C-alpha cells in the first residue's frame, strides 16, 4: 500500500522465509506483503521473534544461503533481488540499499579505524581517490553531527561511545547515497536520551536526502516518532498496517491494541501495573492452522483457532487480518 503517485522503492509480495534446522523447518516469515514508496518511512513493529529483522535482512539477502529458503517476490527499485547473482548483489548492497545494524560494535570491524571502513566502502562503489573518499567520509561525519570529526575518523570502534558508533554506522550506510535505508532497531542498545537524538537525526536526514526507510523496532513510541506508516508483525505475518496516526488512535487488530496498552504513558499513575500480553508467541516450526494470536487473544472465538484470517482492507491505506475486525472497536 505505497502512497499513490509515488514510485515503489521496495515491494514484497507473499514473501516467505524459512530456515533449515535439525529435524524441523522454522517458518520465520509467512506471506508478507509490503510496499515502501519513494521518500516514505515505514516502521515494522512487534515482539522479538515476530519476523521483523528476518524480513529486513531478506531484502538484502543477508541470510546464509545454505540453510535459508526465500520465496515470493522481492523487488528493490524495480529490480528482482531473488534473481540476482553474487556480483549483482554486491553492487546493490550499499549502492541502492544500505542497512543500519542494531549493534554497531559488532557490525564494524574492530581492527580497522571507522574512517578506513567508510573510505573502503566509498571506493568500492565509486571511482575516487583515497583522499577524495576521506574528504567525503569527513563530510558525512559532519552531517551526522559527530564532534571532532577529523579525530573520530581515525578512531577504532571501541574508542567511541555507543551513540557516536551509531552515528558512524549511519554515516557508513549513507556513504554511497543509497535510495533505500534499512534500520534494524538502531536505538535499542542506547540510553533514552541518545535514542531520541538518533531518531531525530534519522528523520532529519530522511527529509533532507529524500530517503525511503524501513525502520524495525519493538517500541511503538519510536515508530510513531519517525514513521509515516506502521506495519504490525506477529508470528511472521503482518496483521495490521496503516498510517501511523491511525494505528495509534484507531487500531483494529487485538494484537496492535495489546501493544499499545502494554507501553507506559503519561496517564499512568504511580504504582499502577503495566499491562502485559498473556502467554508467549507460537513456535515458528509448528504454527497453528488458524490465527497465530488466537491463543493469547481475549476476543478469540472457535473459528479463530481453525481459520487463517484473510486480509481485510478497511480503506485504501488501512488493512487488518482479523476475523472480528468489523465488530471490534478499540479506543487507544
Residues belonging to the chain: 332
* Domain assignment of residue 23, yes or no: yes
Contacts 24+ apart (CB under 8 A), 148-156: 152/114, 152/115, 153/113, 153/114, 153/115, 153/118, 154/113, 154/115, 155/113, 155/114, 155/115, 156/110, 156/111, 156/112, 156/113, 156/114
Which CATH number fits the domain that encloses residue 260? 3.40.50.300
* Domain assignment of residue 247, yes or no: yes
* Domain assignment of residue 151, yes or no: no
| HEC sequence for 221-274 | HHHHHHCCEEEEEECCEEEEEEEHHHHHHCCCCHHHHHHHHCCCCCCCCCCCCC
Mean pLDDT of the chain: 91
Query: Cα-flanking dihedrals φ and ψ of residue 72, to 5°?
Result: 105, -155
* Domain assignment of residue 163, yes or no: no
Question: Cβ(215)–Cβ(44) under 8 Å?
Answer: yes
* Domain assignment of residue 164, yes or no: no
Query: Is residue 297 within a helix (H) or strand (E), and if so which, with residue range?
Result: none
Q: Which residues contact 116 (CB under 8 A, 6 or more apart)?
A: none
| HEC sequence for 151-185 | HHHCCCHHHCCHHHHHHHHHHHHHCCCCCEEEEEC
Position 3 confidence tier, pLDDT thresholds 50, 70, 90 = low
In this predicted structure, the answer to whether residue 332 has a pLDDT above a threshold of 50 is no
Predicted confidence (pLDDT) per residue in 54-78, tens digit: 999 999 999 999 999 999 999 999 9
Tell me the mean pLDDT in the region 290-314. Answer: 93
Predicted confidence (pLDDT) per residue in 89-129, tens digit: 999 998 899 999 888 888 899 999 999 999 999 999 998 99
In this predicted structure, the answer to whether residue 331 has a pLDDT above a threshold of 60 is no
For the chain, how many structural domains are there in total? Answer: 1
Position 4 confidence tier, pLDDT thresholds 50, 70, 90 = low
Nearest residue to 238 via CA among 320, 155, 128: 320
Predicted confidence (pLDDT) per residue in 242-285, tens digit: 999 999 889 999 999 999 888 765 455 566 677 788 899 999 99
Q: Of 2-11, 217-226, 268-277, 291-300, which gets the smallest average pLDDT?
A: 268-277
Question: Cβ(34)–Cβ(215) under 8 Å?
Answer: no
* Domain assignment of residue 68, yes or no: yes
The pLDDT, as a whole number, for residue 120 is: 94
Helix (H, G, I), strand (E, B) or coil at 44: strand
* Domain assignment of residue 219, yes or no: yes
Predicted confidence (pLDDT) per residue in 19-59, tens digit: 999 999 999 999 999 999 999 999 999 999 999 999 999 99
Predicted confidence (pLDDT) per residue in 184-213, tens digit: 998 877 888 888 899 999 999 999 999 999
Domain that holds residue 287: 8-96+178-264+278-320
| Beta strands 41-45; 68-76: pairing state | unpaired
In this predicted structure, the answer to whether residue 293 has a pLDDT above a threshold of 80 is yes
* Domain assignment of residue 51, yes or no: yes
∠38-212-204 over CA atoms, to 5°? 120
Residue with cell 516450526: 285
Q: Strand pairing partners for 71? A: 16
Position 290 confidence tier, pLDDT thresholds 50, 70, 90 = very high
Amino acid at each position: 500500500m505505497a502512497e499513490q503517485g509515488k514510485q515503489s522503492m521496495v515491494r514484497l509480495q507473499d514473501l516467505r522465509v524459512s530456515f533449515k534446522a535439525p529435524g524441523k523447518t522454522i517458518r520465520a516469515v509467512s506471506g508478507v506483503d509490503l510496499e515502501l514508496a519513494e521518500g516514505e518511512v515505514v516502521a515494522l513493529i512487534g515482539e522479538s521473534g515476530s519476523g521483523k529483522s528476518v524480513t529486513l535482512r531478506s531484502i538484502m539477502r543477508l541470510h546464509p544461503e545454505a540453510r535459508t529458503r526465500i520465496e515470493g517476490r522481492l523487488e528493490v527499485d524495480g529490480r528482482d533481488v531473488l534473481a540476482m547473482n553474487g556480483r549483482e548483489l554486491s553492487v546493490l548492497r550499499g549502492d541502492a540499499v544500505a542497512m543500519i545494524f542494531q549493534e554497531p560494535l559488532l557490525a564494524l570491524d574492530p581492527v580497522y579505524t571507522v574512517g578506513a571502513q567508510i573510505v573502503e566502502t566509498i571506493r568500492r562503489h565509486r571511482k575516487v581517490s583515497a583522499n577524495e573518499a576521506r574528504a567525503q567520509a569527513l563530510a558525512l561525519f559532519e552531517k551526522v553531527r559527530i564532534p571532532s570529526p577529523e579525530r573520530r575518523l581515525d578512531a577504532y570502534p571501541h574508542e567511541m561511545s555507543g551513540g557516536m558508533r551509531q552515528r558512524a554506522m549511519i554515516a557508513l550506510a549513507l556513504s554511497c547515497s543509497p535510495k533505500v535505508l534499512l534500520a534494524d532497531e538502531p536505538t535499542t542498545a542506547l540510553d533514552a536520551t541518545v535514542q531520541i537524538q538518533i531518531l531525530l537525526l534519522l528523520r532529519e536526514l530522511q527529509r533532507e536526502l529524500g530517503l525511503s526507510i524501513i525502520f524495525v523496532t519493538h517500541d511503538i513510541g519510536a515508530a510513531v516518532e519517525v514513521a509515516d506508516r506502521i506495519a504490525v508483525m506477529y508470528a511472521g505475518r503482518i496483521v495490521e498496517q496503516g498510517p501511523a496516526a491511525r494505528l495509534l488512535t484507531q487500531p483494529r487488530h487485538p494484537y496492535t491494541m495489546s501493544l499499545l496498552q502494554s507501553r507506559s504513558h503519561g496517564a499512568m499513575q504511580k504504582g499502577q501495573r503495566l499491562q502485559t500480553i498473556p502467554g508467549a508467541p507460537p513456535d515458528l516450526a509448528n504454527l497453528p492452522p488458524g490465527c497465530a494470536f488466537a491463543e493469547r487473544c481475549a476476543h478469540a472465538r472457535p473459528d479463530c483457532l481453525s481459520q487463517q484470517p484473510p486480509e481485510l482492507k478497511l480503506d485504501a491505506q488501512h488493512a487488518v487480518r482479523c476475523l472480528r475486525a468489523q465488530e471490534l472497536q478499540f479506543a487507544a
